[in-house]
Chain A
Amino acid sequence: MLTAPTATTPLAYDVERLRQDFPILRQTVYGKPLVYFDSAATTQKPTAVLQTLQDYYTGYNSNVHRGVHHLSQVATEAYEEARRIIARYINAAQSHEVIFTKGTTDSINLVANVVGRKLVRKGDSVVISAIEHHSNIVPWQIMCEEREASLRVIPVSDKGELDMDAYEKLLDDSVKIVACTYVSNTLGTVNPVQDIIRLAHAKGIPVLLDGAQAIQHMAVDVQALDVDFLAFSGHKLYGPTGIGVLYGKSEWLDKLPPYQGGGDMIKTVTFAKTTYNELPYKFEAGTPDISGGIGLGAAVKYVESIGVANIGAWEHELMQYGLEKLGEVEGIRFIGQAKNRAGAISFLVKDIHPYDLGELLDKQGIAVRTGHHCTEPIMDFFKIPGTVRASFGLYNTKAEIDTLVAGVKRAAAMLS
């Protein structure tokens, strides 16, 4: 029996103590203390994760699921324990509903591929939103083109919020799946995913959530949401790169065909017929990213030790402080002003090119992201070449925001 992670009230969120867990943050860049505001691209890794990777490679590196020897059994147990930890973190009903993938993109491609083959016929459609990352656009485009289906897009307001009335109207009998991001990586918008799921389910349509920018900021309970599929990446959740998760309800995963063929996903193979392995192995062809999976398990345990609700509360405080302080910068324009937001602040200053601003921030030791953040359609919507994005992690401080604001002011003065 799995239980949901419980949030405790943050009596005192000791960010300075938590920063000690991240050795990479102790460095200087161009002689300035590193200020890392690019956690939406990837988060830094705590010692607990680094040590787990080291222990794996020095202590029990071995292939999983097949070996009878000791190391293989230790590795298999650690890998499957990681699956159970992740299942508990997202409150999956069963741990075999957690499929290890390469990341969010891989997870979405998996669903697009198998749902396409099983459910989508000529004339059908798929619904996504206007604020999706390319990873949640292109796989559906490819699938729709192959199946002669069409892609429908939920429109967005100037504030960066989805038009839910328009969404409801899109949901007719032709819609076979809704794929929507939980939190926008560019605008920080937190979408009303409960409503998105409820409205789709009322018509019997399954929903995939792209949780890449949600899973590290808030408690995501797949059973409470009643979501059919959830995709996320390990490296944005303080874990290693190259590992990700696809959660799927077993009723869906059982009836969908396998994605890739190979080792581990089969039960028996003859040249006449192959029978597929049970979940989750049916969707995990080949040798998996063993160290990545185990490392991600360690990352989730680390996050649970702080409490994701506590992390979210702290980041919310940073967000409010950041919006207030950055708001003092002359000529600043926030891109995306949703009421409900998490993780990132996107902005432009006067008519300064985001690339110029980003480069001068870098020279002051401040890492931000510039550009279209792989969300070109939404940049076109706002008619801008890109934004400067400051995104938060559990280790960021208010003093760092002050440094960012001073850096933006200095850069803007130079560039105006």
Chain B
Amino acid sequence: MTINEIQDELISDFSFFDEWMDKYEHIISLGKNLPLIDPQYKTPENLIKGCQSQVWLHTDVVDGRLVFTADSDAVITKGLVSLMVAVLSNHTPKEILDADLYFIDKIGLSTHLSPTRSNGLLSMLKQMKLYALAYQNKAGSAS
């Protein structure tokens, strides 16, 4: 599936819930299914430190595609991280760099999340795009 197809599917999943508590229930259950980061990668270098909760993000490259694994000490954060991983993992650096993540707005996350959480989400996106950029540059210079 393309990044946009995954986003559209997420938007459609979330459209079933009217109440925000139900949306959170869904986010939490997604977090519980998140592909966990290998404990050896839970290092300070892989830590995206926010004001209130912590996120670890690790990147592997498989057949020219970036594979993200992540974890967080807070369950809701983990759920949000899982959304980002679901959308961006297993894509090429170019696809990731070009991606317009409209699902964040469409699901209502940008308006309903507390500012610290949405900032956290944005720093995570930035980190993922940075990995993609670094890998693209590396691949470019190697060829």
Chain A contact residues, CB within 8 Å of chain B: 30, 352-356, 359-360, 362-364, 370-371, 385-386, 410, 414-415
Q: Using Cβ atoms and an 8 Å threshold, which residues of chain A touch B97?
A: none
Q: Using Cβ atoms and an 8 Å threshold, which residues of chain B touch A356?
A: 74-77
Cβ–Cβ contact B21 & A359, under 8 A: no
Cβ–Cβ contact B25 & A414, under 8 A: yes
Check: B20 CB closer than 8 A to any chain A CB: yes
Could you name 8 residue pairs across A and B whose Cβ atoms are closer than 8 Å? A353-B53, A353-B77, A355-B77, A356-B74, A359-B117, A385-B52, A385-B73, A410-B21
- Give Cα A311–Cα B102 distance, bound, in whole angstroms: 49
Given contacts A355-B53, A386-B52, A415-B28, contact A363 B75 (CB under 8 A): no
Cβ–Cβ contact A352 & B75, under 8 A: yes
Q: Using Cβ atoms and an 8 Å threshold, which residues of chain B touch A410?
A: 21
Cβ–Cβ contact A360 & B52, under 8 A: no
Interface magnitude class on chain B: 10 to 19
Chain B: minimal CB distance from A283 (Å): 34
Chain B: minimal CB distance from A120 (Å): 34
Chain B: minimal CB distance from A145 (Å): 26
Given contacts A355-B52, A359-B114, A371-B51, contact A414 B20 (CB under 8 A): no
Q: Using Cβ atoms and an 8 Å threshold, which residues of chain A touch B25?
A: 414
Check: B24 CB closer than 8 A to any chain A CB: yes
Closest to A371 in B: B52
Given contacts A355-B52, A386-B52, contact A30 B74 (CB under 8 A): no
Chain A: minimal CB distance from B140 (Å): 39
Chain B: minimal CB distance from A331 (Å): 15
Cβ–Cβ contact A363 & B52, under 8 A: no
- Additional pairs, 14, CB under 8 Å, beyond known A353-B74, A353-B75: A353-B77, A354-B52, A355-B53, A356-B74, A359-B24, A359-B114, A360-B21, A360-B24, A363-B112, A370-B52, A371-B51, A371-B52, A415-B75, A415-B76
Q: Using Cβ atoms and an 8 Å threshold, which residues of chain A touch B112?
A: 363
- Give Cα A385–Cα B49 distance, bound, in whole angstroms: 13
With beta carbons under 8 angstroms apart, the residue of B24, B53, B73, B77 that contacts A414 is B24
- Give Cα A364–Cα B21 distance, bound, in whole angstroms: 8
- Give Cα A250–Cα B142 distance, bound, in whole angstroms: 74
Q: Using Cβ atoms and an 8 Å threshold, which residues of chain A touch B28?
A: 414-415
Chain A: minimal CB distance from B36 (Å): 16
| Residue interface bits B52-85, CB-to-A below 8 A is 1, else 0 | 1100000000000000000001111100000000
With beta carbons under 8 angstroms apart, the residue of A352, A353, A362, A414 that contacts B114 is A362
- Give Cα A359–Cα B28 distance, bound, in whole angstroms: 12
Closest to A354 in B: B52
Closest to B120 in A: A355
- Give Cα A23–Cα B97 distance, bound, in whole angstroms: 48
Q: Using Cβ atoms and an 8 Å threshold, which residues of chain A touch B21?
A: 360, 363-364, 410, 414
- Give Cα A410–Cα B24 distance, bound, in whole angstroms: 12
- Give Cα A415–Cα B20 distance, bound, in whole angstroms: 15
CB-contacts of B116-133 with A (<8 A): 117
Cβ–Cβ contact B20 & A363, under 8 A: yes
Cβ–Cβ contact B20 & A30, under 8 A: yes
Closest to A30 in B: B20
